[in-house]
Structure 1
Amino acid sequence: MEINLVSDTVTKPSNEMLQYMFKAKVGDDVYKQDPTVNELEATVADLFGMEAALFFPSGTMANQTAIKLHTNPGDEIICDKWSHVYLYEGGGAAANSGVSFQLLDGNRGMITANQVKNGINDPEFYHAPLSKLVSIENTTNKGGGACYDIEELEKIKTVCAENNLKYHLDGARLWNALIAKKQHPKQFGELFDTISVCFSKGLGAPVGSMLVSDKETIKRALRIRKIFGGGMRQSGYLAAAAIYAMQNNISRLEEDHRRAKEIGQLLKQLPWIEKVEPVETNILIFSVKAPLNEKIVVEKLKQKSIHISSMGQGKMRIVTHLDYKEVMHTYVIETLQKMKFD
């Protein structure tokens, strides 16, 4: 039994999801003639109370499209220093849009309205780039699945409105935040100019993300997606997986959160653990006491058929997901309890 807790992107479609995909009605989505893609886009737009949505092959492409929509070359994005758009999208903001970043030192990947306000460049000071976009990540990836309070996001929105800034949400794992904080998608739709959500992480679909916004913005996004090479033909098979995931796999995210919290509670009791970050959703980040090296822990778990991520500097990451079953969870708990380091 191999147990992969490296990421929630490692899941594979269930037989039920595959059957749903096989039965999908499809067309050529480049011509906007795929009925299943059209259904998914309309469903997600309605869910967030926004006008339109566009299906993308990846979350990175959806985020990069949003950046290009909201900025011009030479502009600046304000975001947390751990943001996915900065760290893990291959320098795409610079390559695709010619923009730079104002990186804020937030808390576990989350920034405040005051930080955003203080990070805005004076538009009259032409030596500095123009601040144009605030990008939020919820839940935070490197921040260990942390979730924003909606009140802080509302305060940041006010700062954006007062300073003529666009407001983007990288909501790759927003589904987890919605469940953990008992929030509604429309609360986010009311705040953000653009929102990206992913179907291939916690929801278990094989491929796909969505960008949600107003009709005019999505019309512009269609052209940018084409430029980026993101137009797909009979992509209804992939959209069907996303529809199935939304119908069946959102509420069960509570199970992933419970298991992550249980592992976190256990780790806090182990003598070789230095620190366990607060666990809100399905991502767990922890560190080990010196002189123990995280590579030793990762390797020892690998020998027990348990795979986790090394983040360097003594830190490791565990991500629970729908393919991580209760029998696996029991085995992981028992294995961790028995692990000793001389």
Structure 2
Amino acid sequence: MKELLEKNDLLKPPKIGEIIEGKIIGKGKSSVFLDLGPFRTGIIYGKEFYAVKDKLKNLKIGDKVFAEILDLENEEGYIELSLSQASNKLIWEELKEKKENGEIISVKILGANKGGLITKISDIPAFLPVSQLLPEHYPKVEGGDTIKILRELQKFIGKELELKIFSLDQQSDQIILSEKARESEKIKEILKNYKVGDVVEGEISGITDFGAFMKFLPAEALAKAGGPALEGLIHISELDWKIIEDPTEIVKIGEKIKVKIIDISGNKVSLSLKALKKDPWITLEKKYKKGDVVSGKVTKFNPYGAFVQITPEIQGLVHISEFGTKTKMEKLLKIGEKYNF
């Protein structure tokens, strides 16, 4: 805001679009007059007056306000001003400063949709996407049910959250907020104590259709001390060597497990449970060789072919090209039946 106002040096003639400070010297039923010092007298009237009528009621003679110059000289010789446009410019300038300084702001959540939380900052709509929530606030809904996700998000309505401004778009009046950004630096510092390959213990804190979230047990003490909780994701493909449809086949919420860190990117941690399990492919390679006939149970079809379970942990794919078409494949094979391949 300071930089914006410094642009309007009092020694320079005013320009349309600039913000200027003036002192109220007169108030009428539909107009307000401002003393602009060496730049004569300014006036707020017409639609610009009615746009801020309620605000002007609280102002008195002698009060100073900021206004934007709309016209350097109207028909009556006054500099035509806008209080509402100046306020809007100053608000956006202030928001830019807050973003650049990484300032944490407190906002009240006013609404929710399946994509995130809705609020306002200085009457400007603002949005907090689900992806920008802290792990402990992320709606970990099994199956990714959008109705259940919305219900979880609606629990935040009326609550105050400490957030940072993630992005600003003045042209579309859009503010995107982030809760994760508030703790990102702290989390990065804590993660310096970990490296890829470390085995860590934790508790399953949430399950979705794409995997399971695990809260690091040491992070609980950090959270109590005011530090951020650490959570990592075990992708469904990293839960077990066998192909699974539902993460709850392997883990349950509240279950304590050990996992291996397989990636740390920024403040995101990727974990693997199967990395601590014996690799069944090693045994399979010793038992079978190319060209061997194997017996297996058909578990499912997809556009690429049929999945066949050879051992409890290993499944193979019989490619669709072996049958010609999906229809022929489904005529020759039945799910749940065993065949030699």
TM-score for both structures, normalised by structure 2: 0.21
Higher helix share: 1
When Rg is computed on C-alpha atoms for both structures, the one with the higher figure is 2
Higher strand share: 2
Bigger relative contact order (CA 8 A; separation at least 6): 1
